[in-house]
Amino acid sequence: MDRVDALLSATGRRTRGSVHPWPRIESALGTELPADYKRLCEAFGVGEFSEAVSVLCADGTLVGDLLTVWRGLLAADGGGGVEGGGQGGALFPPHRIHAPGTTGGLIPWATARAGDVYFWQVTGGPVDAWPVVASMEDAEATRRYETTATEFLHRVLTDPGFRPWSVAGAVPDPFFEEA
């Protein structure tokens, strides 16, 4: 069972079949996005897991919209490095927010009510192997995980030992609420 199916099973949901403008999103970012993430957005649509984690998809309200959040972080981070006219790395040192045409930067894929932000780190390797970088609101350090976004999310929702990110102790039965 892949992680999207595991998340559907854990939340008692069926695939929604939500449509997202992936070519437009990927063109703006200047890169493809991982297949498991796209499948996650298509399966669940826009909403919140266990009143704790919101996956950033294509959101018409712009509140949970991947491109809107990414553009805001890119501007606040000094434009994504030299290519964007700034040094970059101000928000999540030593990382910078991804700028199209570069590697090493971060693309946000989820936010948490606690203020945490979950990113991919864009590498020169296969897009489906991008690591997850997690940042806590009140901590200066980030943590890198060699895992997919859907595996990371599954652990956040179901593994009480996955500290400090897990909500499974507080919400033992994961659920999803559409926005």
Half-sphere exposure of 50 (CA within 13 A, CB side): 25
CATH number at residue 52: 3.40.1580.10
User: Confidence band (pLDDT; 50, 70, 90) for 83?
Assistant: very low
Would 170 be classed as within a structural domain? no
Average pLDDT, the chain: 90
Give the pLDDT of residue 88: 54
- DSSP three-state, residue 56: coil
Angstrom CA distances, 97 to 23, 78, 82, 153, 171, stand at: 21, 9, 12, 21, 31
Q: What is the pLDDT of residues 129-146, one digit of tens each?
A: 999 999 988 777 789 999
User: Between 154 and 79, whose confidence is greater?
Assistant: 154
Give the pLDDT of residue 129: 96
Would 173 be classed as within a structural domain? no
Give the pLDDT of residue 1: 65
Would 142 be classed as within a structural domain? yes
Give the pLDDT of residue 70: 96
User: Confidence band (pLDDT; 50, 70, 90) for 86?
Assistant: very low
Give the pLDDT of residue 51: 96
pTM: 0.91
Would 177 be classed as within a structural domain? no
Would 111 be classed as within a structural domain? yes
Q: Do 121 and 104 form a contact (C-beta atoms < 8 A)?
A: yes
Give the pLDDT of residue 140: 75
User: Confidence band (pLDDT; 50, 70, 90) for 94?
Assistant: confident
Q: What domain range includes position 94?
A: 3-164
Give the pLDDT of residue 3: 92
CA–chain centroid gap for 21, Å, is: 17
Return the closest-CA partner of residue 162 out of 174, 145, 175, 177. 145
The total of structural domains in the chain comes to 1
Mean pLDDT of 140-157: 94
